[in-house]
């Protein structure tokens, strides 16, 4: 009798709209901005991108070392994009924490600037960050 009575009450509550029934999950549109710090999401963690460059020669490639830091003991995950100017050449590298060293492409002698952009993984609550570093390519 108790089972029948509790089942009847449950049917009544669902039909009256007093209890919600789970539906399909709603996802954000692709490319939508990440909502951080709202009522239902945790706050975003700011990141700092630090880079150093080692000069190169015409035969030996220059190297850029990058480290992305965040507050606390968390490791940012994401993608690093290197844009070399002048020239506009691009390189991409996955970042999983620690220091990553990337050899630059073969370049002509001169002065170059690399803009490094950190884009966090979609599943993380990190903010993007950027930095610039300069290096020189000599003839010898």
Predicted local confidence at residue 22, as pLDDT: 54
Predicted local confidence at residue 90, as pLDDT: 93
Q: Is residue 35 part of a domain?
A: no
Q: What is the pTM of this model?
A: 0.70
Predicted local confidence at residue 26, as pLDDT: 45
Predicted local confidence at residue 128, as pLDDT: 93
Q: Is residue 131 part of a domain?
A: yes
Predicted local confidence at residue 124, as pLDDT: 83
Predicted local confidence at residue 35, as pLDDT: 63
Predicted local confidence at residue 95, as pLDDT: 93
Q: Domain count of the chain? A: 1
**3-class state of residue 35 by DSSP:** coil
Predicted local confidence at residue 31, as pLDDT: 47
Q: Is residue 36 part of a domain?
A: no
Predicted local confidence at residue 91, as pLDDT: 93
* Parent domain of 51: 47-138
Predicted local confidence at residue 25, as pLDDT: 45
Q: Is residue 73 part of a domain?
A: yes
Based on the number of CB atoms within 10 Å of its own CB, is 50 exposed (0-12), middle (13-18) or buried (19 or more)? middle
Cis peptide before 86 (omega within 30 of 0): yes
Q: Is residue 32 part of a domain?
A: no
Looking at residue 84, which CATH number applies to its domain?
2.60.40.1940
pLDDT, averaged in runs of 10, over the chain (140 residues): 75 68 49 63 87 92 94 89 92 93 92 95 89 92
Predicted local confidence at residue 8, as pLDDT: 76
Q: Is residue 89 part of a domain?
A: yes
DSSP state of 123: T
Q: Is residue 30 part of a domain?
A: no
Map tokens 């030996």 to a residue. 60
Q: Is residue 53 part of a domain?
A: yes
What is d(CA 22, CA 60) in angstroms, rounded to the nearest whole number? Answer: 61
């Amino acid at each position: 009798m108790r089972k029948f009575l509790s089942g009847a009450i449950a049917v009544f509550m669902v039909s009256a709209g007093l209890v919600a029934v789970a539906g399909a999950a709603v996802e954000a549109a692709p490319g939508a901005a990440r909502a951080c710090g709202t009522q239902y999401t945790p706050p975003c963690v700011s990141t700092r991108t630090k880079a150093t460059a080692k000069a190169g020669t015409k035969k030996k490639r220059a190297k850029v070392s990058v480290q992305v830091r965040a507050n606390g003991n968390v490791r940012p995950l994401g993608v690093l994009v290197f844009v070399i100017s002048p020239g506009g050449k691009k390189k991409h590298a996955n970042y999983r924490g620690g220091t990553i060293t990337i050899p630059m492409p073969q370049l002509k002698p001169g002065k170059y600037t690399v803009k490094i952009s950190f884009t966090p993984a979609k599943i993380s609550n990190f903010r993007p960050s950027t930095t610039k570093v300069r290096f020189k390519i000599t003839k010898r």
